[in-house]
Structure formats: structure tokens, C-alpha cells
A and B are shown apart, each in its own frame.
Chain A
Amino acid sequence: MTTIDKTRNVPEPRGAAEGDVPLLEVRDLHVEFHTRDGVAKAVNGVNYTVSSGETLAVLGESGSGKSVTAQAIMGILDMPPGRIPKGQILYRGEDMLTMSNDARRKVRGRKIAMIFQDALSALNPVLSVGYQLGEMFRVHQGLSKKDAKAKAIELMDRVKIPAAKERVGDYPHQFSGGMRQRIMIAMALALEPDLIIADEPTTALDVTVQAQVMDLLAELQREYNMGLILITHDLGVVADVADKIAVMYAGRIVETAPVHELYKRPAHPYTKGLLESIPRLDQKGQDLYAIKGLPPNLTRIPSGCAFNPRCPQAQDICRTDVPLLHPVTERDGGELPGRGSACHFWKETIHG
């Protein structure tokens, strides 16, 4: 199922040309959770931008802070225990963290929508899917119950749920996993938002269904020219649909790159490790590489580079100095647009 080697024309990021203000910009975002065992620093200074029609894939292990960042953007973080001590989240240039609750609520669902991983628990079990879809129109557009239901059927048709008219009154548990995820997508799509955040949208699904759902998502994104943040730990999913990738580790972005660049030449040992740990047919019979060790405890992130205890290339400097996200260049200094690596030894990693 790995399709990494597939070469395809990477669509140029479209948003860049549109104007100076990107659709969404996250600036130096910090999120921490106050727990019994101390303060867990889940996000430690994340920066990224997404433009209309662009797909940003955020890649990382559990606890890397990728989902927490998304929840912070959506404003659905549990606060407390969560806290945002620092940072900005700019939607079309306006900081959502300083908006009034009501203004923020009006952005949620209407302008920025989210697709969750487990559709079974993310949909309300005691309300029919038609009701839950129609609710978007009733709340945000003041439609009548009847009109909202018609819209719900239309939406279900659009995400290719067969017999939408008959099934609109059914409950989430009566649908298959793939169909449920389509309903989630339909719900996010309802008001044709500018940006969709998909948090591991296919992780809970069968492999064959995963592809269908991803294709549908990509198709709809093109159709509406939406921005898409795709959060995943699955490198295979990313390769097919993303324009650019941000790799996260311990609450920081450790590498950014256009999607195929990253696969060809990773500039961070962590990314490299991830790519090498994918089973490949041409390496049959060899031992599979695995990154040694465990992700760090977020209440006690190692000093210096958070990855240093697991890194095969770690030197003394890695244990003392936090590496910043350096721009990555060719060996001769030629520019590599959109590339960055938070490694003291990025040159050795990419060119060595």
C-alpha cells in the first residue's frame, strides 16, 4: 500500500499568489496542560500557514502535538486543563485567540470545519444523521426543519452515500465505518467552509475504504478550492494528497517540505527514521528499521533537541542547544523553497 515512490506533478501551492494574507496562519503557538504530574508542554512554538486550495499534511507520532494544534485552531481545546500561554492563530489575518466567544463560534463550522478520526463516537448516537447534518443549516442559516432535511439529503448525495433519501433518518450506528466517515465529511462540508481540518480521517477505516474516503476528500477540496490540514501518522496517505508536509516531534515542527521533496531527501534524522521504518518490497528479507526509544514524556522534554536521546547522529550540541528551523538549501547554496529543518546537522542529513 505504500505509494511513496509514485512520481506525480506536484501542484504548486495556489494560495501564495492570491494575496499577502494567507487563509490561516499559526504563529509561535504554545499549548500546555496542567496535570497531576506537572505541566505537559504539548505544543512548543508551532508555525505554519495554509492557503486556499492547499493541503498541508501534519505528520507525527502520538503526543507530537499535531492534534492539539488542530484543536487549538478549532477552539475546542479543553480549557482548563489546557492553556495557550503564547501564540497567535490568524484566520484571514485576524487573531482568533483574541476574538469574542460568539465571533469565534461563528467561524467554527461555517468558515473552518473539522473532521474527526472516529466517526462513531464523534457523531451523537441518539440523533439521526439527517438531524445532525441539518443542524448546521438550522443554526447557521436559520433554515426550517424541512428545508434543512432536504439539504441534508443533498449533502449525503454529494458524499456518495447510496439511498440518501431513505437513510436520512437512520442513526450513526446503522452505517458502516466508511459511510459514517462520509457523513462526517458531509457535516464538515455543509456550509462550504474555507478550511477543513481532518484529524486522522481514515485511521479507523479498512485499507480499501481509506483510499475511497481520501479520494472523496481530495475531490471535494479541489471542487470548493478549500484549504485542508490533514493530520496523520500515515506516510502513505500523505503522499497522494498533500502539497506540503510539516513533521512534528514533541510539540515542535522539526521539518517542513513540499511533499515529494521530503520523501526523496529528508533533512532531519527523525523524518529519515520514519521513512526507513516503512516496509518496502525491494528490501524483502532485511530487518526493518525502527527508531529506537520512545517519544518523550511531555512533562519532561529533554533539553536541547527533544529528539536527541533517540537520534543516531546526536552530538553534544544536541543535548544543550535547541535547534531552530533552518532554511534548507542545496549543497551549492541553491534555494529550496518551502524547506526547513530543525536539526543542527541538517546538511549532513540531507547531503551526507
Chain B
Amino acid sequence: MPDVTKAQTTDAAAVDAIAPPAVDAPGKESTQKSEKPRSLWGDAWYDLRHRPMFWISSVLLVLLLVIAAFPGMFTSVDPRDGDLVHHYLGKPELGHFFQPDWFGYDQQGRSIYSRVIHGTRASILVGVCVTAAVTLLGGLLGMLAGYFGGWIDSVISRIVDIFFGLPFLLGTMVVLNAFTERKVYVVILALAFLGWTSIARVMRSSVITAKQADYVTAARALGAGTTRILFRHVMPNAVAPTIVVATIALGGYISAEATLSFLGLGLSDPTISWGIDISEGSKVIRDNPHTLLFPAGMLSLTVFAFIMLGDAVRDALDPKLR
């Protein structure tokens, strides 16, 4: 059958290729510099730079990381210092920026502003560490299962199924209840112990997809070894969905830590945590909503920033949504 051109793409595909992103407004400027097709990551980066959501979340996250690392820069008041005589449930002074009474005082006369600032570290630490642990463990197991298949896949997948059958929050509650003093690392381990399965599932399915791609077949036909195929060809293409899921999950872990602390099963008292403060505040919410609203607002803002970042990256990486 005579083909008019060597190009096998159909017209429909050509129309698709020139159809712009549906999500944001058509870009006014064009990339005049090169005719080179953009790579997945290059394309995603271009897309990201034009999303306000990406910038809002990035700025928020950088700010939160700085607060977590250097809380002393933002307040000089000791978050554990309470003055029941003068400050018992003192109302917030919204005009007093960065002052100890900015967000008011709690039932023990402690500065809520200072507690909110100092509580950042525990939340961020839990979120980042759990995500790192889960990504390493789940990512590795998911990759092994997806790439090698066969009995390795069967064993790993069944283990994932078993852990998946247990509701996440219930499982961590049972684990954490066994510890009387719950430091940050205990909470991290408990969350990671039950949290790795979702990453493993995502990694497994994206590795299976990447493995079947034509360029992997081609690499194998050219005699590339297993390690090379795995790390040069499969990994870079399978890692994108994992990153997205991990970023969004990070927000979820921070939220889970606060929930557990609220239930009295998360971090315990010497550690300063938004969850504990929200739990305390909820007892006097009727007359003193500020005791709950400020730590809760800070918590939500942090989770919001991570989820929004994950969202923006996902949209940028997914050409289907363009």
C-alpha cells in the first residue's frame, strides 16, 4: 500500500500535538529558540513556571522550611513558658505582628504564636521523614515487583494487599498505643510501617507500563543489561507518578500526625505539636475559638502547600491534561 509520506502519524495525532493545554490560558509567547522537541521534564518545567499554583505553594513551602529550621528567627518567646496570672486564655491582638500576643494565649497562658512557630518542626519532620522512608521502601519493593514479575511480584503484591486491607489510621493507632512515650521517630516509624503500600502500588504499575514501552524493548534488543535498563530506561519514566503521589501523601502524613496527636496517640507533651494544641483548644472552642483556629490554620496551610505542589507537578507531567 503506497503511503504518501514516511510519517506514520495520523492527522488526528497532528491535531492533538498542536492542541494547547486546556487548563491554562493559551501562552502568548512562543519558544523561538529551538525546534527541538521538549523532553518530558523540560516540558513539565515550562508548564510549571506558568502555573500560579506552583509558585504559591513553593513560596509557602520555603517559608515553612525556614520556620521549621530556625524558629528562633520568628519569635524569642519560649513556647513552654506559661503565665496563668496575666495571660490565661488571652485574646489575640491581630495588629501586633510577630508579637507573643499576636495569636493570643492558651489555657496555660502560653503564647499561641510561639507555639505555632515551634510546632512547625515536628510536623515538617514527620511529613518529610515518613515520605522519604515510604518512598524508599515502597518504591524499591514496587520496582522489584513490577520489573521482575513472576513469584517476586506475587509475594510483594500479596504483602501489599495484606497491609492495604488494614485501615491506615487504625493500624497506626494500634501500633502507637504500645508506646508510652511517643517521640517524633516513633510516630515516623509507625506511619511509615503502614504507609508504604500506596507508593509500592503506584511504582509497580508505572514500572510495568514503562517496561513494556518500545524503547525498553529496543534497549534490550541492543543487548543492554538488566541494571542498565532498569536505571537508565525504566526508572526515569516510572518515577514521575511516584513523585507526584509522594508529594501529595506528604501533606497527608502531616495531617495524620496531627490527627493521632489529637487522639492522644501521636506525639506527647514535651514535644510541641499542632495536633496537641488543636486537641487542647477544642476543649474551650466555645468561648475561645482562637486556641483552635491558629494551630489548625497553620496545619491546614502546610498540608495545602504540599498538596498544591503535588497537584501542580502532576498536571505538568500529565500530557493528557494539556
Do A's and B's CB atoms come within 8 Å in the complex?
Answer: yes
Please name all residues of chain A whose beta carbon is closer than 8 Å to the beta carbon of B21 when the two chains form the complex.
Answer: 36
B73 in the interface (beta carbon within 8 A): no
Q: For chain B residues 1-46, which have a beta carbon within 8 Å of chain A?
A: 1-7, 9-15, 18-21, 26-27, 30-31, 35, 46
Whether A62 pairs with B1 at a CB distance below 8 angstroms is no
Given A35-B26, A81-B26, A117-B10, A61 and B4 touching (CB < 8 A)? Answer: yes
Given A117-B10, A298-B18, A36 and B30 touching (CB < 8 A)? Answer: yes
Cα(A234)–Cα(B11), bound, Å: 13
Cα(A42)–Cα(B5), bound, Å: 18
Given A33-B20, A236-B1, A67 and B15 touching (CB < 8 A)? Answer: yes
A199 in the interface (beta carbon within 8 A): yes
Please name all residues of chain B whose beta carbon is closer than 8 Å to the beta carbon of A61 when the two chains form the complex.
Answer: 4-5, 7
- Give A204-237 as 1s and 0s: 1 = Cβ < 8 Å from B's Cβ atoms: 0001001000000000000000000001011110
Whether A59 pairs with B4 at a CB distance below 8 angstroms is yes
Whether B2 pairs with A200 at a CB distance below 8 angstroms is no
Whether B6 pairs with A62 at a CB distance below 8 angstroms is no
Whether B20 pairs with A62 at a CB distance below 8 angstroms is no
Whether A81 pairs with B19 at a CB distance below 8 angstroms is yes
Cα(A203)–Cα(B18), bound, Å: 22
Please name all residues of chain B whose beta carbon is closer than 8 Å to the beta carbon of A78 when the two chains form the complex.
Answer: 19
Chain B, residue nearest A235 (CB): B2
A68 in the interface (beta carbon within 8 A): yes
Given A36-B30, A37-B30, A233 and B18 touching (CB < 8 A)? Answer: no
Whether A295 pairs with B20 at a CB distance below 8 angstroms is no
Please name all residues of chain A whose beta carbon is closer than 8 Å to the beta carbon of B4 when the two chains form the complex.
Answer: 59-61, 233-235, 274, 277
Chain B, residue nearest A203 (CB): B10
Whether A67 pairs with B12 at a CB distance below 8 angstroms is yes
- Give A189-203 as 1s and 0s: 1 = Cβ < 8 Å from B's Cβ atoms: 000000000011001
Which residue, of B9, B14, B21, B46, has the highest number of chain A Cβ atoms within 10 A? B14
Cα(A38)–Cα(B31), bound, Å: 9
Question: What is the minimal beta-carbon distance from B219 to any residue of chain A, in angstroms?
Answer: 26
Which residue of A231, A235, A295 is within 8 Å of B7 (Cβ)?
A: A295
Question: What is the minimal beta-carbon distance from B45 to any residue of chain A, in angstroms?
Answer: 13
Chain A, residue nearest B21 (CB): A36
What is the interface residue range for chain B against chain A?
20 to 34
A63 in the interface (beta carbon within 8 A): yes
Chain B, residue nearest A247 (CB): B4
Please name all residues of chain B whose beta carbon is closer than 8 Å to the beta carbon of A59 when the two chains form the complex.
Answer: 4
Whether A80 pairs with B1 at a CB distance below 8 angstroms is no
A336 in the interface (beta carbon within 8 A): no
Please name all residues of chain B whose beta carbon is closer than 8 Å to the beta carbon of A236 when the two chains form the complex.
Answer: 1-2
Chain A, residue nearest B8 (CB): A62
Cα(A33)–Cα(B14), bound, Å: 12
Which residue of A2, A42, A66, A80 is within 8 Å of B26 (Cβ)?
A: A80
Q: Give the A-B contact count at a CB cut-off of 8 A.
A: 90
A34 in the interface (beta carbon within 8 A): yes
Chain A, residue nearest B11 (CB): A67
Please name all residues of chain A whose beta carbon is closer than 8 Å to the beta carbon of B11 when the two chains form the complex.
Answer: 62-64, 66-68, 199-200, 231
Question: What is the minimal beta-carbon distance from B92 to any residue of chain A, in angstroms?
Answer: 46
Which residue of B12, B18, B19, B31 is within 8 Å of A117 (Cβ)?
A: B12
Whether B10 pairs with A278 at a CB distance below 8 angstroms is no
Which residue of A68, A210, A233, A290 is within 8 Å of B15 (Cβ)?
A: A68
Given A61-B5, A235-B2, A200 and B30 touching (CB < 8 A)? Answer: no
A40 in the interface (beta carbon within 8 A): yes
Question: What is the minimal beta-carbon distance from A304 to any residue of chain B, in angstroms?
Answer: 20
Question: What is the minimal beta-carbon distance from A328 to any residue of chain B, in angstroms?
Answer: 21
Please name all residues of chain B whose beta carbon is closer than 8 Å to the beta carbon of A63 when the two chains form the complex.
Answer: 11, 14
Chain B, residue nearest A34 (CB): B26
A299 in the interface (beta carbon within 8 A): yes
Please name all residues of chain B whose beta carbon is closer than 8 Å to the beta carbon of A17 when the two chains form the complex.
Answer: none
Please name all residues of chain A whose beta carbon is closer than 8 Å to the beta carbon of B14 when the two chains form the complex.
Answer: 62-63, 67
A279 in the interface (beta carbon within 8 A): yes
A1 in the interface (beta carbon within 8 A): yes
Question: What is the minimal beta-carbon distance from B4 to any residue of chain A, in angstroms?
Answer: 4
Question: What is the minimal beta-carbon distance from A215 to any residue of chain B, in angstroms?
Answer: 16
Question: What is the minimal beta-carbon distance from A310 to any residue of chain B, in angstroms?
Answer: 11
Please name all residues of chain A whose beta carbon is closer than 8 Å to the beta carbon of B7 when the two chains form the complex.
Answer: 61-62, 294-295
Question: What is the minimal beta-carbon distance from B165 to any residue of chain A, in angstroms?
Answer: 30
Whether B3 pairs with A233 at a CB distance below 8 angstroms is yes
Which residue of B2, B15, B20 is within 8 Å of A278 (Cβ)?
A: B2
Whether A33 pairs with B5 at a CB distance below 8 angstroms is no
Question: What is the minimal beta-carbon distance from A49 to any residue of chain B, in angstroms?
Answer: 22
Cα(A291)–Cα(B5), bound, Å: 8
Cα(A33)–Cα(B15), bound, Å: 9
Whether A297 pairs with B19 at a CB distance below 8 angstroms is no
Please name all residues of chain B whose beta carbon is closer than 8 Å to the beta carbon of A118 when the two chains form the complex.
Answer: 12
Please name all residues of chain A whose beta carbon is closer than 8 Å to the beta carbon of B27 when the two chains form the complex.
Answer: 35-37
Please name all residues of chain B whose beta carbon is closer than 8 Å to the beta carbon of A67 when the two chains form the complex.
Answer: 11-12, 14-15
Given contacts A34-B26, A60-B4, 11 further A-B contacts (CB under 8 A): A35-B18, A36-B30, A37-B30, A40-B18, A63-B11, A64-B11, A67-B11, A78-B19, A231-B11, A233-B3, A234-B3
Q: Which 10 A-B pairs have the closest CB atoms?
A: A67-B11, A278-B2, A38-B30, A36-B27, A63-B14, A35-B20, A233-B4, A34-B26, A40-B18, A37-B30
The contact sample of 23 A-B pairs, CB cut-off 8 A, is A33-B19, A35-B18, A35-B19, A35-B20, A36-B21, A36-B27, A61-B5, A62-B13, A62-B14, A63-B11, A63-B14, A67-B14, A80-B26, A81-B19, A200-B11, A233-B3, A234-B1, A234-B2, A274-B4, A278-B2, A279-B2, A295-B7, A299-B30
